Structure 1
């Protein structure tokens, strides 16, 4: 019994030693995981050319205000959320009153009477349904196919984005792209690599990064993160998948080029992209406002700048510099192929969008106006969609009717053939009787 207090007194010490051992094991495990992640994610053999280490990039601070560190990119996430919040305020405080002053009007939506069965059918099928499904739905709702069709059309029109919403989105992107282009032009016009792209690689990797170039990089990265985070709430575009690929490729390019200190060529790439994007967004704004002549003029300017920068300057100057001129300063390494592969993805998207723009130019030349943005809105005009909706259902109805009439014609034709055979046989029998006699 006397040993019980001694044993109880040892329990706190044992717990303390146990906790201390767990903490040491946790610290050792954390160090091992950090070493493993550094080896996998920040391997010098992948990110940097041969015989170049991270210490070589750190030495670049001697000639400038900072040197690139991967942890610098973490600030892009809170800034992206800040962009989303600022966009929310911008669209309601500035863009919405501007849309009213420019005369943006929305189509009056017809009220849809509540119908739980049709609502469930619409949420399940959207616009992909057949006439036979409408006939089956008629039995459960007690409505005629025409009434069901009108209800579904009105319900679908309610999900369409209004011109005001599309105008506000375009005005937000226009404001950022214009600001980014002017700021990028201001910080790059005095640099040597803006005029001679070989200077993008001279002295690599010991290249200092100025504060203006750093914030230009971080703000562009934050903006594209905000676009990627809000892409599902924005107006759905015809090139929705291509837009997601573009955002992911752009974010990867900005992040990789910053970590590898390819910032000089990265700033040139960003400036080239911003030079035409604000013209496209301004053309959209005036298109939604009904200013057709202004929209046509801006679209022609956008097409000229886009085709010139994305199909001439970008492949002939930038891609040539990253593929060929860079090899005069370092040997190829895995990051070199990764970086150029992402640039080729962007170039493929440029060719795709150029095809859509050339289609619009064809319409502009031969029809005299730009009817709609082939690159932009996935939702066409309501009148056009109603015509397509009605024509699709009418074609299916006509096909069902034509199948029924075709079957009836076949049956009548078969009956006629049977009757003709019977009459023909009777005639043969009657004609053969006198000969037998």
Structure 2
């Protein structure tokens, strides 16, 4: 059954124009072509990236954060309360007023105590500035090196300057060593991002990020299998060209370097708009959507490949709206640039809650550690 399903899935009519097939990609006369089984190499590379990231964050990113003045955030620890903890983990992190009243009856705590417990518990789950700085510095390092490596691999290639060249001789396009490693490293990196998504900082566009990672992995894998290598390298280069500016802006933002963050963000916004909203749709997608049909009849692989590109383009538009909104606010009101996806809300709210807790401690006395107090004098210990 599996063999029959595999044969159906890899039918030549699905992935190649009429008259072409897998036999055209057999190695011969010293010419090497991409093979589907090569993609397994990306799995150990992804694991290596996860290991390198841990080493990098400890030995490079943490000292760099200290140099930038970024320190670990000290959170007020919530007193242990099984009832509230169970509600927090299994129901919601933001209980309604009715739920708070019910919890007060169950625990014998005052409404103020329950509200403060949930605020402090949410604070404990929020990532610290140091964690965000280390994550941003890791991505900055990879995206910068990937862009430099991609540019070096493509600088002497004719399809970098004339996009129609990406289809000349398709699908019989010889695989170069630089293309092989460019693909495997990029695929391994995005695989590592997908593996680490549970532990990374979660933002409001978490679902969009998952869609982006999956679409990117599918796009890279598919373009490799059917030898869309030239188009794939151009797409990866375009995406890497702006990302390191964003990550560097985040680093300066977490360090409190407002001017550096703002101006780097403006550079990022300009490059993002040019590459993702102009070059990507009107040059690259045009040459993958319009030009190929002048050479052969459309087939499933043609629609599948361009469908993935359109998915990425929709995400580009989604992020461009956020980026333009932040850029306009900075240019017109000279406000601080903050990540609208979550960083601003989490940081500001976290600070306000900590300040509120400190005021409460000064006014009402220290919060008792350990189990919540279940007596009529609980208000004295809030």
Q: TM-score, normalised by structure 2?
A: 0.89
Distance 1:370 1:196 in 2: 40
1:302-381 correspondence to structure 2 within 5 Å: 302-375=268-341, 377=343, 380-381=346-347
Which residue does the alignment assign to 1:422? Answer: none
Residues 1:296 and 2:256 aligned together: no
Match of 1:263 among 216, 229, 235: 229
Deviations 1:161-182 (Å, cap 9, x if unpaired)?
A: 0000000111111111001000
Which residue does the alignment assign to 1:149? Answer: 115
Which residue does the alignment assign to 1:98? Answer: 64
Which residue does the alignment assign to 1:159? Answer: 125
Match of 1:136 among 89, 99, 102: 102
SS in 2 for 1:270: helix
Distance 1:316 1:368 in 2: 32
C-alpha contact 2:249 2:264 (8 A) present in aligned 1: yes
**Unaligned 5+ runs, structure 2:** 357-382
Distance 1:364 1:378 in 2: 14
SS in 1 for 2:335: coil
**CA displacement at 1:38 relative to structure 2:** 3.5
Distance 1:173 1:123 in 2: 30
1:12-411 correspondence to structure 2 within 5 Å: 33-34=2-3, 36-58=4-26, 61-62=28-29, 64=31, 66-375=32-341, 377=343, 380-383=346-349
Highest relative contact order (Cα 8 Å, sep 6+), 1 or 2?
Answer: 2
**Unaligned 5+ runs, structure 1:** 1-31, 391-437
Deviations 1:206-236 (Å, cap 9, x if unpaired)?
A: 1101011011011111111111111111000
Deviations 1:223-265 (Å, cap 9, x if unpaired)?
A: 1111111111100011111101111110111011001100001
Q: TM-score, normalised by structure 1?
A: 0.78
The structure with the greater share of residues assigned to helix is: 1
User: In 2 relative to 1, CA 152–135 (structure 1 residues): closer, same or farther, beyond 3 Å?
Assistant: same
**Alignment length (residue pairs):** 354
**CA displacement at 1:378 relative to structure 2:** 8.1
C-alpha contact 1:202 1:329 (8 A) present in aligned 2: no
Runs of 4+ in 1 over 4 A off after TM superposition: 384-387
Highest CA radius of gyration, 1 or 2? 1
User: In 2 relative to 1, CA 207–62 (structure 1 residues): closer, same or farther, beyond 3 Å?
Assistant: farther
C-alpha contact 2:246 2:265 (8 A) present in aligned 1: yes
**CA displacement at 1:279 relative to structure 2:** 0.5
